[in-house]
Amino acid sequence: MTYSRRLVPARLPASLRTGRFPAAFCVIGMAVLASTTPGMAAEAPSFLSRFKHHTTVASTVPANGDQNPYAVFVSPVSKGRLVKDQVLVGNFNNAGNLQGLGTTIVQVDPATQAISLFASVPQKLDKCPGGVGLTTALAVLKSGWVIIGSLPSTDGTTATKGDGCLLLFDADGKLADVWTSPKINGPWGNMAVIDKGTSATLFVSNAGFGVGAPPAGAAPIVSKATVVRVELQIPDGGKPHVTAMTVVADGFGEAADKSVFIIGPTGIALGAKGSIYVSDAIGNRIVSIPDALTRTDSAGTGTEITRDGLLKRPLALVNVPNGNLLVANGLNGQVVEIDPVGRRQVGAQWVDVDKAQQPPGSGDLFGLAVTPKGDGFYYVEDDMNTLVLAH
């Protein structure tokens, strides 16, 4: 199925939208809008505005019935069962639609729309505190190793939440290792990855510290969520091992939630000069963490890049070819484009207009991934359990 979407521009100030502004501004202000300051680089063309069609690629439900696709990652390599440019998707819910009990990663061939099971593990996994519930934290390394986070439950709520872990699979989808640490609790959001082949650096958010059972009313916000830098060595012919874990950011808000399990920092993307960008879902903003590649301490919640506006609980965050960022909204069906250097919201596109939710698409979007050629992007629609291509 293919359908079209439109770009929603970032809103202008009220005075410009209504036309009610001083006469002096008409002459001076509008001249500034219509020209480019000498020596100033022109703004990069919008990435989102290129895409007019959205095509359902495949269902993400495997034979065991797992639901609620979260993670999306395009394989950079063909090895074992991995096929270069095919898309891996992780499921957070089980066949009963209980959150935090999903145990499968599926692989989708965009060319044929075929789906195959890449990996499956028992929900009760002793080495992973609390068991298995696969999250948005997914990475596929050039060496063929696959890493995914687990934020588990036994009844679908945070009342039985476990600390979780990072799971390591080989290229054939076999569980090779389980990584735990006092610095890992609810590895949640999509990972930023720097992969050098024989070594790799991962950045993963943790949204489980201090989160308990969801209350009857509004859940209290706990300012304990973190971003951890995980450094790996990958010996030739051997499995990766963790050489260091460093908390590079902390103090983000997190909260239990009956409908989405946990709300916390979800998206991480690479920035300039060793920095990273983080989507702070509860703060409804994007922040920058400086020197994330080298720092030995926490930058706290970093420096704010942009907040509110088109952002409606920002989740997965990815880099796009024009230097901007894409972020999926959790409270409507829009994907938002952000210029992190200019600290501005470029625009948004409705990619999920399911009117069964209000606003349309609310709660449906999670993982994002750019196509290998940079000519589109993949996302999952959790309401339909599908992988979709914007092109």
Q: How does pLDDT run across 132-146, given as a tens digit for each residue?
A: 999 999 999 999 999
Report the C-alpha gap between 379 and 387 in whole angstroms.
6
Report the C-alpha gap between 188 and 204 in whole angstroms.
7
| Most distant pair of Cα atoms in the chain: their distance | 71
- Would you say residue 65 lies in a domain? yes
Q: Which range has the worst mean pLDDT, 34-38, 83-87, 220-224, 370-374?
A: 34-38
The whole-chain average pLDDT of the chain stands at: 90
Total structural domains within the chain:
1
Q: What percent of the chain has pLDDT over 90?
A: 85
- Would you say residue 31 lies in a domain? no
What are the tokens at 221?
């916000």
- Would you say residue 300 lies in a domain? yes
Is 339:44 a contact under the CB 8 Å cutoff?
yes
20 pLDDT more than 90: no
371 pLDDT more than 80: yes
Check residue 329 and give its pLDDT: 98
What are the tokens at 178?
């389980």
Provide the domain limits for residue 297: 2-6+48-390
Q: 293 or 44: whose pLDDT is higher? A: 293
- Would you say residue 27 lies in a domain? no
Check residue 351 and give its pLDDT: 96
Q: What percent of the chain has pLDDT over 70?
A: 89
What are the tokens at 151?
């934020």
User: What's the pLDDT band for 15 if we cut at 50, 70, 90?
Assistant: very low
262 pLDDT more than 50: yes
Question: Which among 12, 47, 42, 49 is positioned nearest to 342, based on CA atoms?
Answer: 42
What are the tokens at 5?
């979407």
Q: Which range has the worst mean pLDDT, 235-239, 242-246, 273-277?
A: 235-239
Average pLDDT over residues 375-384: 96
User: What's the pLDDT band for 65 if we cut at 50, 70, 90?
Assistant: very high
Report the C-alpha gap between 265 and 315 in whole angstroms.
7
Element (H, E) at 328: strand 325-329
22 pLDDT more than 60: no
pTM over 0.95: no
Count CB neighbours of 323 within 10 A: 12
Check residue 5 and give its pLDDT: 54
Check residue 237 and give its pLDDT: 86
- Would you say residue 17 lies in a domain? no
- Would you say residue 374 lies in a domain? yes
167 pLDDT more than 90: yes
Check residue 193 and give its pLDDT: 98
CA distances from 211 to 95, 126, 194, 329, 355 (A): 25, 21, 30, 22, 31
Check residue 40 and give its pLDDT: 36
**Which segments of the chain does DSSP mark as H helices, in order?**
14-18, 23-33
**Residue 33 phi/psi, 5° resolution?**
-65, -30
Report the C-alpha gap between 290 and 300 in whole angstroms.
10
Q: How does pLDDT run across 87-97, given as a tens digit for each residue?
A: 999 999 999 99
Q: How does pLDDT run across 193-213, given as a tens digit for each residue?
A: 999 999 999 999 999 999 988
CATH assignment of the domain containing 103: 2.120.10.30
56 pLDDT more than 90: yes
279 pLDDT more than 70: yes
Average pLDDT over residues 104-119: 98
Report the C-alpha gap between 251 and 315 in whole angstroms.
17
42 pLDDT more than 70: no
- Would you say residue 34 lies in a domain? no
- Would you say residue 14 lies in a domain? no
Check residue 16 and give its pLDDT: 31
34 pLDDT more than 50: no
User: What's the pLDDT band for 29 if we cut at 50, 70, 90?
Assistant: very low
Check residue 216 and give its pLDDT: 75
387 pLDDT more than 90: yes
